[in-house]
Structure 1
Amino acid sequence: MRVLKEKSFQTKPLIEPMLYHGLMDFTNMGMWIWYIQSEYVEISTVLQRMLCIENESTIYSTTEWMTKWHPEEKEILKDALLSSVRSQERNIQVVHRLKNGQGDFIWIHTKAYIVRDEHHQPIQMIGVSIDFSEFQDTLESLSKEKEMYQNFLKASKAATWWWNIQTDETSFDEAWANMLGYTLNELEPISLETWKKLTHPIDLEHATNILEDVFTKKIEYYDATFRMKHKDGRYVWISDRGKVISWLPDGKPHIMVGTHIDVTKEKELEIELIKKEAYYRNLLDSSYDIVYFVDLNYKMTYLSPTWTEKLGHSLEDGLNNSFEPYIFHEDLPKIIHFFEEILKSGKRQEVLEYRLIHKDKSIRWFTTNATLVLDDHQNPIGFAGSARDITDEKLYKQAILKEKEQLQKTLMSLGDGVISTDYEGNIIFMNPIAKTLFCKNEVCLKHINKVLEQMKMKKQVSFQNVREKIIGQLKSLVYVEGNITNRSIYLEGVMSTIENEKNQIEGFSLILRDQTEKHQKQQEVEWLIHHDYLTSLYNRRYMEDSLDLYDDPSYLPVGVMMLDVNGLKRMNDVHGHHIGDELITLVADTLTESVAKKDTIARIGGDEFLILSPNTSEAEMYALKNQLLESFNHRIVKGNRLSVALGYAIKENEESTIRDVMKIADDYMYMNKNKKTIVR
């Protein structure tokens, strides 16, 4: 009614007073008045009917009326109403739940106006409530049904990248380029500028700000979502995650690694759901339904502006004319019967589906409900009703059904293994790939625990553990990985819930992907990062990362020995680098044979080695020095005895750092280099 008043059709009179209650009736708008000072609430018969409480009184105390509020919303709703009353606000709008006569809670959209006296004190709150359940249920049902089937396809392909932040040197894998429709060769030369050029300019600043937060150590992990331009001109949504794995001594970031995952489908779905939510909310706020009044001769004596919006016909074309030309001819008998039944029974009737003809001759699907309108003498004078356009809903349901069928076909042809279970973990479905992994001679595993047991994870978990983790921490996904027993296959998987339309968990899905090659490469890379490729000893990078750990008091005393191979350059020059490599390898083997298992050996330079011996005394380090010199003296390479200069020092207290002691040992080593008499 407020919208009609604001638009105020100057050329046409407003609805006559005797039609007012009829129009309020058919629109399903329940009115109520809260007498604030007297503390009681009076509701209309429409609101009674909406809540199925026709046998109750229309007058309630404030406390009695609050018992119909949903327990979870009671305090919030009470605070909102009281806050509006105490402030100078005049309007309030809320979506909440009320208990009906059957004890169920239904969704209600309420708008209210606060009436104040001349002293601005609140006297009354006058409100209108509309049944919002149909919108809420439809949205939740469609969204959950779609989400349930998409859970099967949430395994993602990840591309990797590497970045030297100080030099801007970068490295991207082929999957990174493929994600944008390119090959790496097509993008050469690739640098940080390549990423900046392909990233949407609006998103680039946001991603750069997050990187800055990582570099300044405000956050540990980099996590940004942005758009990148595909080769075909469109933009794809990318989830970019990374971490600085190496920092310079001055605190500046050095090396950063990360992954790119194409999340375009997920992002588009999110945007679509946001649009749908806004769409349905706007429908409610802008009189979505066509409101009409038809006399007994089937002439339309009132039409709301939505008539033009939905069907393209002007109000002038429809008013005071029969509705028959606008009804699709096959549905006309149904509509005539609909009004005849209302006139005969005097009760509200509904037609679930019928068609109206748009001005452009297209067909629109509608549903309608109407009630009989009586004059002051209780004589019927016509029908008041509303018609709702359900064309988009029908098309959307058809699309969802088609998508559901397509998802089922896709599920059977996926390259990943897919397993679904009931709530107790009993397997009820395996796609062909999963069967090749967990079936033998057509006999398949019956419970998901057997699948998890065969995966030989680093930290073995059971289905019960996973289920408790998902439910207890309100997580929708849990990741698992491991090798299949007796098979050289490494799997990565994600387990998620399968929920019904009431958000109740009915079962679980497990999607598994063969990542054997990726896992092997990761292990190789992790080994190479911290080891010297020639000697297999730890390298300088490993020692730089872990050296400070030896400042822990539990390691005291700590022996530090520095070694430098004499004559390596001459050996390379005279006999070749392969003999030099043989010399280095011989030194490494000698060290490995001589030191204790608790000690750490590292090659920290071309001819330099480091030994860290926790819980080692001066005497023990002295003995190790002599043992090594004796062992080196018996090693021969190309007729030359192995000559190594060495020096050691002891960290005996917490005041000195391991790096200080390492410098002292290094000084001793250089003092001994090329001398016949060996000191510390």
Structure 2
Amino acid sequence: MSHDPAGNAHGTDAALRDITERHRRLQMIIDGTGAGTWEWNVQDGRMWVNERWAQIVGYTRDELAPITPDTFFRLVHPDDLAQSNARLREHLEGRSPHYDSLCRMRHKDGHWIWVQDRGRVYEWDAHGQPQWMAGAHADVTDLQTARQDAANMRQRLQAVVDASDEVAVIATDIDGVVNLFNTGAQKLLGYTPAEVVGRVNPGLFHDPDEMMEYLRPQADADGRVPTVFEALTAHATQGTWSHQWTYVRKDGERRQVRLSISPLDGNDGHRIGYVGMAVDITPLLEVREQAYLAAEKFAGAFSSAALGMALVSLEGRWLDVNDALCGILGYTRAELLAVDFQTVTHADDLNTDLALVADLLNGRRDHYHMDKRYLGKRGNIVWGRLSVSLVRSEHGEPLHFVSQIQDVTAQRQSSLQLRESEQRTRVTLDAVADMVLTLDLHGLIQYANAAATRALAGEGAAPLTGGQIQDVMELTTEYAPRSPLDIAVLLDPESNAVDLHSDLLLSVGAQLLPVDLTRAWLRAEDGQVSGAVWVIRDVTQQRARQREARHLAEVDPLTELSNRRGFEAHLQQAITRVARTGQSASLMFIDLDNFKPVNDSHGHLAGDAMLWAVANVLRHGVRDSDIVARLGGDEFAVILAGCSLKRARRIASDLLDGVRTLTIPWDLQRLSVGASIGIAAIGGSMSVDDAVAAADAQCYLAKAAGKNNVQVETPTMEGLDPLDVETTEGGEG
């Protein structure tokens, strides 16, 4: 606090002027960003916010006045206040470089919004205690909602995987360690997820003798035999591979399974693991084995007749039976001859059988066929395929019936189990959120699950089976959204058209839906591809997250220009474009002159303000199609597509004038900097490092020539652009 000669204190007035001037400077520099900003005197509690800060929560500054830290505390959700205060204390005590808190705040309308609050101390008092702190608010409600939606989607997908206990789903990382073990796998193998996930390799579940016999021929020159995981995944590097194996349960029981292994790739295309889907086919094989044994058992009896045969009186008594029929029903010949066919017929089938017999006797038919149930001697049910004809005398009078009976019990059981299996499969696929389609190679839809029918034909629409895929679906890409892909190419097993596109769009009405398309080929018995299974997944949220991640990774947070990573990606694209089209392109390197004194004399806030102002000059001084990047510190670069060296020199001269005349107000002064600019042509045969080195060399020459000037490389005569002929000299100004 200062005093005048009369001893009057003027410290308070000076502090107010200082605060007013501070607010004026900050308003000029950062109000234009659209962020909600705040400034807080940690020691006396004074607080200032801009209008945008109040707008985020639905108020004006006047409605919130007076604005103090209590204003923030009143608006923050009670469940988030403690963690926000804890992070603030960490920063004020020097245990974190900045304050960063994600919290909910009550909007004037009464609902909660998500706010990202960031700030840091920028001024300390003479005792080293925090005095002034500044920061910004950003409304991230939409981002939080998207993240929550993504988490919910992951939970739903996990629920879908766990819902099918008829299919064992086992996923591993790239090293073979299990990281997913669903309820179907638990049911099949007898292990719990806790015993498996993160602990074992799926080779544990295979019969060791069977696998050793399979692996031994695959030993290398040194005699090393691959592991089970290595051998099986080697077949699935390019797509799904299926094979029949013997699994050994935890209790030692062996089960026959059909195992399909598919690769799992991350968003960047790198392999992250594998997923195996195993279906227990032991019951089906047992039924087949039973049918085989039944055929072997009765082969001798059928030496004279392939079927069970009987002569039956008009009243239904057995007149004669062969050994095959006795074997089918389990009775001896004498036992069958002592009864009629009605006695060994299932009550639910008897009336139908008798009605058909009456039709024969009345001349309404010559013979009949039916499947009926017989009561076996052991109390078992035997399904017989019955063929009956009536033998008449020469005068047309009925004499007796001739019956042929085929045992179809095993076939009926197998068909029933197959229908039940197909029904379970369809129910499972209808529960999946992804669209699943089975097609022949001409685009005929053979199957479409519920999700595919809803998406392609609408809620409540008739099944798509029998229609053409071209009539209900159109695929395009984000790169060329108005150019539909040829469906015939996508159905060509030799085409990798799907694999080349990571930006597929599905046209659903007027909407373009981001999707991923996975194909698996169906093969006939001769090994020829007969069709395909398509799985189409909605990846709207995934693409949005990818775009957000790319933006965060490739944008400089201070200037909102591309950072070095984004710059190198754009430069590689420019080099590729030059190689493909032969069109000129130039690269400009810009190094600010006299920037260090601004930082040293006025602090980093002044330096940041200057960098922001220079970035605006560069951004507005080039075309929208040009790429402006901050490479770090006070170094910038501009990629000028379709631009000769001559034109690039003119643009650089204008940018140099813009930087020369740029000033920003700071502490009652106007700060300025200069720039040294180097320009080099971008060649189609260059690497990114080659192009950077060429432009950097010219920037170095500009610095050596006294700064504040433009240097352009001398183009070679080979491939010289006519526009550059007049400007082959090295420097300017």
TM-score (norm 1): 0.44
Which protein shows a greater Rg? Answer: 2
